[in-house]
Copies of this chain bind each other. A is one copy, B any other.
């Protein structure tokens, strides 16, 4: 077996000094997680330039039995892209692999390296008159490889699906250092097992995604945004149904925000205008897109909102009358996490439920939290159309945030037990990483865990691919 010194020499020979980083200070940004909760250690940070170098590194790691932590933009929220504290692993950063290999507007596909930053991918599509609809808060920093490995969600899922649904083909370096060239730009392909979807969402534990063929869509001609005031989550569900029935695929956004969320935003970002604020329990941010025109989108939205107001489903509503007003409404939604951060740490849950159970879930779970942690404050918002809630729990007034974090385990138990009872998911869009590994083991059936372990052992028998994540 190759020893560590020989391994590092071989890496330097392959990648050059500049891309074989072992200096502690230079490694630091690769070892600390996005939220700054954990800093791991590593033998080195390796920065290959292309797929061939990734494959060569993986072969060296297999020879030297060195664990590999693949890393994209390192913006993950579940400690999936940072190494553990052992210092045995290398971080394999895909950040230098930034080629947009091809944009094909007729096939409506784009082939990109894993290290391409999401925003750059969006731009490359737009330059050819197409839309790459994946959109999320970290889009200026996160990479396509990370989006795929975590099956990222975001605000466009209602209409366009998760990252999984936006990918047609992959190139992957296997744990043996071989290259699977599955960069197919096909809408239909029934030739054997769906390896693509196995690697998507596997968080780098089964291999390293080095490139992908992504689906593009026609650019909508116009989008119109509205804010509706509602008396309850139940009313929000009825509004969602009305909008889906009237607008079909034109409905491209449906975000729920509780009054408390908007109060937090008002407290920390008082300059943001808040139409309708202060008098209602819940708010829905709606977005309609049209392949025809802005007036078509606006008329369709006004008609559907008219029905909702007429039936008493919505209490009030305002339709943005300009692109600037639309952006202003989205800013409200986007500033909720920022307002939370300014307010101090809270206990976060990224959950999903059958859409039809959401009102009942909220109504049942909030009292349980109040009973166990009197005075705690629920920061509940999210992608209602996808059944995805960010169901965060802040301390009671007067209790220090850091102190409240000691209750994290107990708070998780209340929330996740309720999620499980409704057939929901304890990680809707953030993944498992190292952070939720124990939770996964708790809530998955032994049959499902055994199937996952069998696949992991079959593809990565040495257990070197992102160890300690997921399983």
| Cβ B191 vs Cβ A425 within 8 A | yes
User: Inside 8 A of A352's CB, which chain B residues have their CB?
Assistant: 186-189
CA distance A324 to B353 in the complex (A): 42
Contacts of A200 in B (CB 8 A): 194
In the bound complex, how far is the Cα of B187 from the Cα of A428, in angstroms?
A: 8
Q: Are A356 and B106 closer than 8 Å at their CB atoms?
A: yes
CB pairs A–B below 8 angstroms (20 shown): A104-B354, A107-B354, A164-B194, A174-B451, A178-B447, A186-B428, A187-B386, A188-B386, A188-B428, A188-B429, A189-B425, A190-B428, A190-B430, A190-B431, A191-B444, A195-B448, A245-B291, A246-B291, A247-B291, A454-B459
- Distance of A460 Cα from B250 Cα, bound (Å): 44
Residues on A close to B: CB < 8 A? 104-109, 129, 150-151, 153, 157, 159, 161-162, 164-165, 174, 178-195, 197-198, 200-202, 206, 217-218, 220, 237, 241, 244-250, 289-292, 300, 352-357, 383, 385-388, 423-432, 436, 440, 443-445, 447-448, 451-452, 454-459, 470-471
Residue among A178, A354, A386 facing the most chain B CB atoms (10 A cut-off): A354
Pairs of residues from A and B, 3 with the lowest C-beta to C-beta distance, nearest first: A248-B291, A458-B458, A249-B249
Closest chain-B Cβ to A206's Cβ sits at a distance in Å of: 8
What distance in Å separates the Cβ of A144 from its nearest Cβ neighbour in chain B?
16
Inter-chain contacts of A436 with B (CB < 8 A):
191
* Chain B residue at minimum C-beta to C-beta distance from A181: B445
Contact partners of A444 in chain B: CB under 8 A? 191-192
Q: How many copies does the complex hold?
A: 2
Q: Is the Cβ of B185 less than 8 Å from the Cβ of A423?
A: yes
Q: Choose among B182, B191, B237 the residue that contacts A106 (Cβ–Cβ < 8 A).
A: B237
Complex CA–CA separation, A428 to B188 (angstroms): 5
Q: In the complex, A229→B452 CA distance in Å?
A: 51
Can you add 12 more A-B contacts, CB < 8 Å, to A186-B354, A194-B200? A106-B237, A180-B448, A184-B425, A186-B428, A189-B427, A192-B432, A193-B206, A193-B456, A194-B194, A197-B197, A218-B245, A248-B290
User: Whole-angstrom distance between the alpha carbons of A66 and B452 in the complex?
Assistant: 26
Are A190 and B194 closer than 8 Å at their CB atoms?
Answer: no
* Contact (A193, B202) CB under 8 Å given A179-B447, A244-B218, A356-B107: yes
Chain B: minimal CB distance from A19 (Å):
26
CB within 8 Å for A432 and B190 given contacts A180-B451, A448-B195, A457-B458: yes
A419 to chain B, nearest CB (A): 10
CB nearest to A303 among chain B residues: B292
Contacts of A201 in B (CB 8 A): 190, 192-194
Asked if A432 and B107 sit within 8 Å, CB to CB, the answer is no
How far is it, in angstroms, between the C-alpha of A425 and the C-alpha of B471 when the chains are bound?
Answer: 34
Given contacts A185-B423, A195-B451, contact A190 B429 (CB under 8 A): yes
**With A and B bound together, what is the CA distance between A349 and B149 in angstroms?**
34
